[in-house]
Amino acid sequence: MAEGFSFSNRSPILHSPAEVGLAYENVTFPSLDGIPLEGWFIPAPGSDRIVILNHPRWFSRSGLPSHLEPWKSLGAAFGNDFEVNFVPDFKILHDAGYNVLAYDLRNFGHSGAANGGVSSSGNFECRDVVGSLNYVRGRSDLREMSVGLFSRCLGCNATLVAMARYPDAFENVRCLVGCQPLSPRYLLEKVMTSRGIPAERVDDLDELMRLKTSFTIDDLSPAPAAKSVRIPTFLYQVRDDAMTTPKDVQTIYDNMPIETKKLFWIEGSTRRWDGYTYFQKDPSLMLDWFATYLT
């Protein structure tokens, strides 16, 4: 378990914006520490607004083929054995009038390998978030645009950590839509219980992970970083997500020292992946948030 959680297998990019009739550019840009990041820029002619998407762990910019092994095994024990395709999300955002930048975080998709392959729950990946913002500011056709962020799971963790460590990078960022940020302790306790391992042995797992990555489990929680959020933020989460507990996202939300924030619970499911696909089923709340604050 320590090995599996400390490092992540890449997943293939099986879809493209062309599938939904979107014109796009293949783009590459450096992370803050120089790691090459690969992505798609989807233009919305005439628009002066852009949404940058940051994907979950194990995913690429296009989603996750979790209907196929070995990616199926990542969440199948909790009902997450179906494919997640993010390309329809790009279409929804584009049709709502937003330029879109979707890219692969380090060690995922086509982006560069880094940090020995360690998956750090945002500690290293936060540099990729800043790299994407720097890329937008560095393009003459994008630098004057209003920027919004749409960040899920690891991508949301990385966004929160970036806000704590590099606050100046968010000077022109107008808002965040965040899906299911996650403190690994709760996930690991759930996984251990599902495998018949007493949850109190999480401390043994913590030590093994620290020996592999130099991070403790609690070093990987985004909850402390949430105290640095300064922009309007909409969080949403499957309330009964079998891979975590509601108090995790509630704590992250409560830590945000801002008045302009909202937490929406997805009801009637225990599948985490339903949180990732919720936007394409009912995007109204998220689009309303962008329409209100991404101006």
Coil, helix or strand for 295? Answer: coil
83, 65 Cβ separation under 8 angstroms: yes
pLDDT at 199: 83
pLDDT at 1: 80
Instruction: State the CB neighbour count (10 A cutoff) for residue 219.
Output: 16
Digit-coded pLDDT (tens) for 49-106:
999 999 999 999 999 999 999 999 999 999 999 999 999 999 999 999 999 999 999 9
- Its pTM surpasses 0.95: yes
pLDDT at 269: 98
All domains of the chain in start order, with CATH:
2-293 (3.40.50.1820)
**CA-closest candidate to residue 10, choices 117, 103, 133:** 117
> Would the pLDDT of 239 be above 90?
yes
Alpha-carbon 17 to chain mean position: 19
* Residues whose CB falls within 8 Å of the CB of residue 39, separated by 6 or more in sequence, listed in order: 26, 27, 28, 29, 61, 101, 102, 103, 104, 132
pLDDT at 142: 98
pLDDT at 4: 86
Digit-coded pLDDT (tens) for 105-122:
999 999 999 999 999 999
pLDDT at 97: 98
> Would the pLDDT of 243 be above 90?
yes
- Give the residue-averaged pLDDT of 45-52: 98
- Give the residue-averaged pLDDT of 34-45: 98
- Give the residue-averaged pLDDT of 3-17: 93
Average pLDDT, the chain: 97
In the chain, helix, strand, coil percent, each to 5?
40, 20, 40
